[in-house]
Amino acid sequence: MTAGVAYLAFHAVAILPVIVGLALVARYRLGSRSDVLVGTMVLAGLALVYTTPWDNYLIARGVWWYGEGAVLVRFGFAPLGEYLFFLLQPLLVGLWVARFPVETTRPLSVSLSERALGLGGAGVVAAVGLALLGTDSGLYLGSLLVWSAPILAIQWAFGWPFLVAEWRTVLAGTLVPTLYLWVVDRVAIGVGLWTISERYTTGVALPLLGLPVEEAVFFLLTSLFVVQGLVLYVWLVDRLRAVEQEAPHPLATLLGGR
């Protein structure tokens, strides 16, 4: 294989064919085709912007590194393939979860106490992450949890009751891509595309698969971000359209009044 293209070849073999396959058999039951694709593109852009600083920091710290000949070009500390993954994963997950329906007639009303509970749940995630950051072995997992907490806070504060009500779609939409990414990540580690530092990880691995728990949590959280974000986006867009079409008093209807 030509030096420097191994990471890109990984995308060409393990990620792009899945995206193409999902696009060819796509069923847009979550929302309209345009809503799903627009929402997915927005989430992909946000993923690129939000993940880049965290990812570059961990690479600079030596939390993981890449095999010889795996990287074609770097921007900052991260290789091109890394940035492409930030864009491709939301597309893969978005096309998958699009096949599952949600009931968007629920009003957008969420009480202050419910919003506080959502924020509190994200706060617990952040607190666990901060505690892990107290040791070298907790750097990867701790920074991952702290990094994820603001996204969880926004999504859960906005609409965790709706996400719970649509738990089947959230669960199915998250777990299948997560399991697939666990497998291909383990293969990539096994062939030496990248190596995870023993110093900055807990040493805990998934049974049978042998994937470091930090990698497993990363793919679980990032897939969950996309699914929750897309489900909430479709809910919001559908309710806004309903208000425009039906409401003599739009704000009252939007918030669940008459």
Residue 196 has phi, psi (to 5 degrees) of: -95, 130
pLDDT of 58-77, one tens digit each? 999 999 999 988 998 999 99
- Rama region for 65: left / alpha / beta (φ>0; ψ in -120 to 50; rest): beta
The distance of Cα 194 from the centroid of its chain, to the nearest Å, equals 20
Is the alpha carbon torsion for 74, 75, 78, 82 positive or negative? negative
Question: Is residue 75 assigned to a domain?
Answer: yes
Residue 2 confidence (pLDDT): 45
User: How many separate domains does the chain show?
Assistant: 1
pLDDT of 145-194, one tens digit each? 999 999 999 999 999 999 999 999 999 999 999 999 999 999 999 999 99
Tokens of 152: 């969880």
Residues of the chain with pLDDT under 70: 1-4, 247-258
- Rama region for 208: left / alpha / beta (φ>0; ψ in -120 to 50; rest): left
Distance CA 162, CA 149 (A): 19
> CA triplet 37, 255, 168: central angle to 5 degrees?
50
* Amino acid present at 194: W
Q: Provide the 3-class DSSP secondary structure of residue 29.
A: coil
CB 145 within 8 A of CB 125: yes
- In which domain, by residue range, is 95 found? 6-254
Question: Is residue 196 assigned to a domain?
Answer: yes
Question: Is residue 63 assigned to a domain?
Answer: yes
Question: Would the pTM of this model clear 0.85, i.e. be above it?
Answer: yes
CB 81 within 8 A of CB 8: yes
Average pLDDT score, the chain: 93
Question: Is residue 211 assigned to a domain?
Answer: yes
CB 29 within 8 A of CB 99: yes
Question: Is residue 59 assigned to a domain?
Answer: yes
Q: What whole-number percentage of the chain has pLDDT above 70?
A: 94
Question: Is residue 1 assigned to a domain?
Answer: no
| Beta strand segments in the chain, E | 64-66, 74-75, 78-79, 194-196
Tokens of 106: 């629920």
Tokens of 73: 């070009």
